[in-house]
């Protein structure tokens, strides 16, 4: 049965219709409700008609909903009521009870917004909501406050669930970072993209230019996802993403060891340091630009020059340390400035000293000690791998046991639900063990990579012995490949080189 038009003809004699409250009466019943509580459509209609007669309201329509749930607003008569409200055909909506109109506070709030927008009042007999009175309006505000509270609490619950999922390493939607694919709600390494990520990190250490890397990838037909061409922004985003360490960032929180890493901590930190320093040197006459650091204050030494009375240029590196309020400091640092030729020669001399017997013998001894420590660390991780593998085997055995019991045993629905919950818990446990396993495997590989090869180091030192300062491009490129930075003191240089994990002090 649809809506019933019971509007009487306008009263004769004058324009009194404008003073009459025109109401829409909404009635709804579900089959279960009608059977158990006797809250039938006839009883609702009789009570509402009596109220309208008492208040001298004119009924525009009866919106009668049969066998419809109040859990949503997908009801034909409810939608007809909304259309009449928007068409300004009624000035008040009346129901017997609030749950006849809606069982959802959020839906009710949306309806109230519609009513307020079109200046339509609302009356519920049972709850005594009557926005034609001051008390009714106050009660409505209270209801809306609780509806807002429910919405915010739902939002918080969803956010908490998503945060918890991220902490477990589960995917919350969207695309995983380049280098990973989403399999069973987890990030797993995508080998083809992994190789590109490793290339980007390794190449940046040498070229120190996101533009150079983007051009190289595009020129060699190495495309991004969906065939996209590379640009600086995409390269920088990859270089700064902690996801490649096996960490997951969610809502400004960083959850550690949630998936298999691609880049080691040491390599990632090195790249972040290079990003802070900026691009490669641009001054051809200053090949040590971006490499020299004041040993006293750890500020960069930057190329500069001055002109004497004869207009002859005097080029030097100066300490960039500044005091408070941007005023250059004139104290503390022993080296305020040092001319190009002087520091270039000191660096060349210190590089030559690397091959001196005394210096190189001490390097060999430290290399042996360094590798021995890494072997011991690998041994510890190998034992942890054995324990993890045993835990995974035990977890799988428990899963098989519960699955067999589900197949062969007779359980109640409640018992089966508990067994399935236990299976889900074991499955999550197994995933976490496997994530730890991949991290340990990665750690062992990284420790292998950190081991020092004496022959490669000899080759690097030989390259540094043959530097030609007159060939500016070659000189600069070789330095950038092998040297991280150089701390400059008055009588000493400290070399931080890529091929050794410790600094080397040279009297020069």
Catalytic site positions: 30
117, 82 Cβ separation under 8 angstroms: no
CB 150: neighbour CB atoms within 10 A? Answer: 14
506, 353 Cβ separation under 8 angstroms: yes
DSSP code at position 122: E
What pairs with residue 241 in β-bridges?
none
Question: What H or E segment, with its residue span, contains residue 315?
Answer: strand 313-319
Residues in the chain: 508
What pairs with residue 337 in β-bridges?
318
Phi-psi region of 230 (alpha: psi -120 to 50; beta: other; left: phi over 0): beta
Query: Cβ neighbours of residue 296 under 8 Å, at least 6 residues apart?
Result: 319, 332, 333, 334, 335, 489
CA distance 488 to 335: 8
Query: Cβ neighbours of residue 343 under 8 Å, at least 6 residues apart?
Result: 288, 292, 317, 488
291, 485 Cβ separation under 8 angstroms: yes
314, 307 Cβ separation under 8 angstroms: yes
E-strand stretches of 376-476: none
Q: How far is CA 277 from CA 71, 209, 299, in A?
A: 59, 11, 11
2, 63 Cβ separation under 8 angstroms: no
Query: Cβ neighbours of residue 177 under 8 Å, at least 6 residues apart?
Result: 187, 238, 241, 243, 244
E-strand stretches of 98-151: 121-124, 129-130
Q: Please state the separation of Cα 423 from the chain's center in Å.
A: 29
506, 497 Cβ separation under 8 angstroms: no
């Amino acid at each position: 049965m649809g809506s019933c038009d019971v509007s009487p003809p306008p009263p004769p004699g004058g324009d009194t219709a404008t003073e009459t409250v025109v109401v829409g009466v909404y009635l709804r019943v579900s089959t279960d409700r009608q059977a158990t509580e006797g809250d039938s459509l006839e009883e609702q209609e009789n009570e509402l008609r009596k109220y309208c007669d008492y208040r001298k309201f004119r009924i525009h329509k009866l919106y009668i909903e049969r066998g419809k749930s109040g859990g949503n607003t997908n009801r034909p008569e409810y939608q007809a009521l909304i259309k009449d409200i928007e068409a300004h055909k009624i000035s008040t909506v009346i129901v017997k009870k609030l749950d006849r109109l809606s069982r959802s506070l959020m839906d009710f709030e949306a309806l109230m917004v519609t009513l307020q927008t079109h200046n339509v009042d609302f009356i519920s007999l049972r709850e005594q909501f009557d926005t034609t009175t001051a008390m009714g309006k106050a009660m409505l505000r209270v209801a809306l406050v609780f509806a807002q509270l429910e919405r915010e609490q739902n939002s918080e619950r969803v956010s908490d669930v998503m945060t918890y999922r991220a902490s477990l390493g589960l995917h919350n939607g969207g695309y995983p970072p380049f280098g990973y694919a989403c399999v069973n709600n987890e990030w797993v390494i995508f080998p083809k993209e992994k190789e590109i990520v490793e290339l980007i990190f390794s190449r940046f250490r040498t070229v120190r230019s996101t533009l150079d890397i983007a051009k190289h990838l595009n020129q060699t037909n190495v495309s991004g996802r969906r065939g996209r061409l590379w640009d600086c922004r995409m390269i920088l985003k990859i270089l700064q993403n902690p996801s490649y360490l096996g960490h997951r960032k969610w809502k400004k929180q960083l959850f550690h060891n949630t998936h298999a890493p691609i880049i080691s901590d040491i390599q990632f930190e090195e790249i972040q340091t290079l990003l802070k320093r900026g691009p490669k040197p641009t001054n051809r006459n200053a090949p040590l630009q971006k490499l020299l650091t004041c040993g006293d204050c750890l500020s960069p030494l930057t190329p500069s020059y001055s002109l004497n009375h004869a207009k002859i240029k005097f080029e030097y590196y100066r300490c960039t340390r500044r005091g408070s309020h941007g005023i250059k400091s004139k104290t503390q640092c022993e080296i305020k400035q040092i001319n190009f030729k002087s520091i270039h020669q000191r660096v060349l001399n210190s590089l030559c000293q690397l091959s001196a017997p005394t210096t190189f013998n001490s390097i060999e001894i430290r290399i042996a000690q360094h590798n021995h420590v890494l072997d011991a660390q690998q041994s510890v991780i190998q034992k942890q791998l054995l324990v993890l593998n045993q835990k995974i085997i035990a977890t799988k055995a428990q899963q098989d046991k519960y699955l067999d019991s589900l197949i062969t045993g007779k359980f109640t629905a409640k018992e089966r639900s508990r067994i399935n919950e236990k299976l889900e818990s074991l499955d999550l446990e197994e995933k976490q063990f496997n994530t730890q396993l991949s991290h340990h495997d990665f750690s062992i590989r990284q420790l292998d990579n950190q081991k020092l090869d004496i022959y490669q180091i000899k080759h690097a030192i030989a390259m540094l012995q043959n530097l030609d300062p007159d060939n500016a491009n070659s000189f600069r490129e070789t330095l950038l490949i092998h040297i991280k930075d150089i701390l400059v003191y008055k009588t000493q240089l400290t070399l931080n080189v890529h091929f050794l994990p410790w600094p080397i002090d040279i009297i020069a």
